[in-house]
């Protein structure tokens, strides 16, 4: 007698169906729910997008911070020439302190300043203009582009109201009749000035000279030009306070003592 399909011991479709049903009921052994791989991919894509947005936000914050610091606090500059040797060497990177003269402070005699020479050392037409000029200025603010050729670094010898005289190579400069001792910064072998002059600095202007007098194009070279070589105070970008590169040249640029000894004679002297 044959065994009925679906009874114990049977070999028909009923038995196979029972085995299959049992297999489907075993926990953890069935196929994954439909759509699970897509959900995981979506989560990964969302995570990647969030990471990219966070990175862009961080980069934007860093750039904004750098722009604000360069615009209002301090700005790096590269020394382009040897006109300030041995105080500053060609290729030195210095930091100009833009807060030095903020809040009513004044430029002082003896300060090393970074300034825009357009309108004093150079004609106004030398300043870069248009979109290219704006992009270059942005790159300079970010420290990604070198400073324009209109930017100079020199030492302030006289401020508004000062009378500065030089007899030529045979004697020292005098400021308001007081001989100026420049031995602490003047490059060895250089005379205080090979050119004789006698000038009075107009209010709001500066008389600036390089420490390497024999290699410096400074206020003396513009005596006969419009403006007389005087640099407007509002063209000063900042006071050069630190040399930060190369490492072997790290130093602070302190004001030489002889300038402090001049006291408040003439101009605004030691103020600021």
Q: How far is CA 23 from CA 16, 19, 27, 173, in A?
A: 11, 6, 9, 105
Alpha carbon distance 231, 219 (integer Å): 8
Domain 75-261 has CATH 2.10.109.10: yes
pLDDT band at 133 (very low <50, low <70, confident <90, very high): low
Give the range among 60-64, 103-107, 260-264 with minimum mean pLDDT: 60-64
Predicted confidence (pLDDT) per residue in 210-251, tens digit:
999 999 999 999 998 888 999 999 999 999 999 999 999 999
Does 154 qualify as catalytic in the annotation? yes
**Global pTM value:** 0.70
pLDDT score, position 268:
55
Q: pLDDT class for 52, splitting at 50, 70, 90?
A: confident
Return the pLDDT at 6.
44
Give catalytic status of residue 83 as yes or no. Answer: yes
Q: Give the dihedral of Cα atoms 34, 37, 42, 43; nearest 10 deg.
A: 110
The domain locations on the chain are 75-261
Of 154, 193, 205, 219, which is the active-site residue? 154
Distance CA 142, CA 225 (A): 34
């Amino acid at each position: 007698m044959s065994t009925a399909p679906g009874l114990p011991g049977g070999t028909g479709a009923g038995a196979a169906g029972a085995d299959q049903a049992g297999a489907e009921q075993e926990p953890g052994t069935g196929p994954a729910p439909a759509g699970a791989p897509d959900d995981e991919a979506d989560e990964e894509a969302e995570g990647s997008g969030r990471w990219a947005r966070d990175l862009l936000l961080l980069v934007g914050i860093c750039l904004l911070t750098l722009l604000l610091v360069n615009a209002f606090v301090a700005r790096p500059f590269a020394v382009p020439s040897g006109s300030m040797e041995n105080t500053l060497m060609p290729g030195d990177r210095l930091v100009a302190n833009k807060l030095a003269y903020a809040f009513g402070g004044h430029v002082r005699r003896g300060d090393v300043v970074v300034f825009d020479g357009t309108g004093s050392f150079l004609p106004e037409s030398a300043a870069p203009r248009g979109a290219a000029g704006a992009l270059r200025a942005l790159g300079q603010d970010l420290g990604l582009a070198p400073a324009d050729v209109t930017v100079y670094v020199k030492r302030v010898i006289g401020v508004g109201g000062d009378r500065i005289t030089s007899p030529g190579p045979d004697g020292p400069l005098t400021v308001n009749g007081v001989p100026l001792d420049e031995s602490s910064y003047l490059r060895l072998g250089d005379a205080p000035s090979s050119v004789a002059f006698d000038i009075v600095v107009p209010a709001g202007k500066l008389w600036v000279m390089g420490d390497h007098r024999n290699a410096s194009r400074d206020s003396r070279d513009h005596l006969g030009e419009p403006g007389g070589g005087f640099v407007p105070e509002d063209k000063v970008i900042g006071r050069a306070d630190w040399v930060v590169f190369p490492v072997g040249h790290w130093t602070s640029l302190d004001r030489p003592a002889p300038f402090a000894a001049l006291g408040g004679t003439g101009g605004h002297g030691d103020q600021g």
